[in-house]
Amino acid sequence: MTNYREILRLENLGLNNTQIAESVKCSRTTVINVLRLAKEKGLKYPLPELMSDKDVYETLFSVASGKAKYKMPDYEHVYKELQRDGVTLDLLWREYVDECRQSGELPYQSTQFNKYYNDFCTKKNATMHLNHKPGEIMQVDWAGDTTGIIDTDTGELIKVYVFVATLPFSGYSYVEGFFSMNQECWTTAHVNAYKYFGGVTKMIQCDNLKTGVLKHGKDEVELNRSYRELTEHYNTAVVPARVRSPKDKAFVEGTVGVISTFILAALRNRQFLSLPELNEAIWDKLYEFNHKPFQKKDGSRASMFEEEKPFLMQLPAEPFELSQWKVATVGPNYHIAVEKMNYSVPYEYIKQKVDVRLTRNMVEVFFSGNRICSHIRLYGRANQYSTNEEHMPPDHKKYVAWNGDRFIAWASKIGPNTEIVIKAILSSYKVEQQGYKSCLALLKLADKYSVQRLEKACTKALTYTPQPSFKHVKTILASGQDTLTPAAEPTFSDATSQYGFTRGADYYGRAK
């Protein structure tokens, strides 16, 4: 109990209100009110000798009924104000005390103020709102109970895991079934939940599962990289439940239990042949669950959600797209190999390890946390190349401008047969670009042997095969076969008459 006698004594000694409050261990507001009442009652120190502390209290706070009259706070106002960001019960109590001071009424101390507010919430059955503000938290979890669908080929039951997201303020929930609890399903579930709610909460509270939290230490929390990207995309934060502290996420745990009974148990005797069919049935029951009237108060989860929805943050323009992270080493050809495809990287990073982020449409490459390049993701035939000219060393860029049409145009200036050979080389490869090196080498032979000899060599090569290669033409030029005249060239008949002989029928034992 406050020592009112001591307050009057210290005031008589000339101490200010702050000093008196520190000495008596009460609030400065209490000192001000006591001195004001003492002045009104004409009570001064020194007090009458026979006046007890009880007499001092009754003199200061006496009313017609003989009891002190306190101003009862407007707890409806307090309840609504607590839903706003940054507003605490202590702040509202201080504002209440200031109002009482201005009106000359007696305020309750903070302990009594809080007690009456708890009583108010109990009567309204609103205790679930004490620790949760609208739009503040979305609690997520996998339900302990699973359901399943029938495999149409084997007749076996395929297990389906159930994701649950709940807004603690209103109790409004989202439920969806998945074949797995992996990263892709976990991320998709969050995206669909936010779409269902039509907004984003300021925080997400989850268990310490690996698809969400890699490490929950004493001093820091390390999020899964993909999960962290999701929170950055939606401009929200993850607050994992404390390890072995189920009360941190009690509301969603309770909702999981209710949903297991209300939805999953209700569907236990039905058979489903596909996941979309199962989810449609789940969502029908979910609508009933969210719109089911409360038992002990007015309204439903859906009606409470209408009050909460304006407090949700706006959804981003595009939904989050799941990404995969891989580590790759830049090869000597300044490309990295990812998912059997090849993507160029600036040649300065040859032999360096880089982080690669894969989405459905993009490939992004990072070095020391900085993005150094990106490509459109390749699909289809394996071992395709995506090469950016800017990533090439200077001496490689000169080959970029080459293409099949340019080689053919160059060859046509040398001669028609050279053009035919170039076309034959280009058509001999599955990928035209693979023949560029051979075409360039063949055309460069004109610098060494002359344009005329190259055309003759190509002409002669075409008499041997309709698909001559660079080596064929080079061999003809190196051996000088292109310089031989037709008369000087030995024929098969001349060779056999001059140097050979013909075995007759007698030799083989046959009659003439």
| Sequential pLDDT tens for the chain (512 residues) | 678 888 888 888 888 888 888 888 888 898 898 888 888 888 888 887 777 777 788 788 764 344 556 788 888 888 878 777 667 888 888 888 888 888 878 888 888 888 888 888 776 654 444 457 788 888 888 877 788 888 878 888 888 888 888 888 888 889 998 988 888 888 888 999 999 999 998 888 877 555 545 444 444 445 667 778 888 888 888 776 554 444 445 555 566 667 767 777 777 778 888 888 988 988 888 888 888 887 777 788 888 889 888 888 888 888 887 777 889 999 888 899 988 889 999 989 988 999 998 887 889 999 988 899 999 988 888 888 888 888 888 766 655 666 788 889 989 999 999 999 999 998 888 767 778 878 888 998 998 899 999 999 999 999 988 899 999 999 999 998 888 866 555 544 444 444 445 555 555 555 54
Same domain (yes/no): 204, 295: yes
Q: Any idea how long the chain is?
A: 512
Q: Tell me, yes or no, whether 131 lies in a domain.
A: no
Placement of tokens 């109790």 in the chain: 171
Q: Write down the pLDDT at residue 421.
A: 93
> Do residues 299 and 379 share a domain?
no
Three-state SS across 454-509?
HHHHHHHHHHHCCCCCHHHHHHHHHHCHHHCCCCCCCCHHHHHHHHCCCCCCHHHC
Last residue of a domain, one of 124, 145, 165: 124
- Are residues 183 and 276 both part of a single domain? yes
pTM for the predicted model, two decimal places: 0.47
Calpha distance 206→256 (Å, rounded):
13
CATH code for position 237: 3.30.420.10
Distance in angstroms (rounded) separating the CA atoms of residues 428 and 472: 14
Distance (Å, whole) CA 7 – CA 12: 9
Is position 316 within any domain? no
pLDDT of residue 397: 63
For 144, the token pair is 């302990």
Whether residue 202 lies inside any domain: the answer is yes
Q: Are 287 and 426 part of one and the same domain?
A: no
- Asked if residue 288 and residue 167 are part of one domain, the reply reads yes
Between CA 424 and CA 343 the distance in angstroms is 30
Nearest-angstrom CA–CA distance, 403 and 400: 8
Q: Of the candidates 398, 390, 352, which has an alpha carbon nearest to the alpha carbon of residue 373?
A: 390
Look at residue 66 in the predicted model and tell me its pLDDT. Answer: 47
Judge whether 67 lies within some domain: no
Domain boundary among 268, 284, 311: 311
My answer on whether 193 and 280 are in the same domain is yes
Is residue 408 domain-shared with residue 367, that is, in the same domain?
Answer: no
Report pLDDT for 60: 80
* Paired tokens of 157: 């039951």
Residues sharing a CB contact under 8 Å with residue 329, sequence separation 6 or more, in sequence order: 336, 351, 352, 353, 354
Query: Is residue 468, in this structure, part of any structural domain at all?
Result: yes
Interatomic CA distance for residues 188 and 232, integer angstroms: 15
103 & 191 share domain: no
* Residue 285 belongs to domain spanning: 137-311
420 dihedral zone (left: phi>0; alpha: psi -120 to 50; beta) = alpha
- The verdict on 292 and 166 lying in the same domain is yes
Q: Nearest to residue 162, comparing CAs of 182, 142, 191, 184?
A: 142
Domain count within the chain: 5
Amino acid 504: pLDDT: 56
pLDDT of 493 reads: 46
Residues 169 and 264 in one domain: yes
Same domain, residue pair 141 and 157: yes
510 domain-assigned:
no
Buried b (16+ CB within 10 A) or exposed e, 207-227: beeebbbeebeeeeeebbebb
In a domain, 483, yes or no: yes
Q: What is the rounded distance in angstroms from the CA atom of residue 346 to the CA atom of residue 334?
A: 7
Q: Do residues 117 and 153 both lie within one domain?
A: no
Q: Looking at residue 15, what is its pLDDT?
A: 84
512 is a domain residue: no
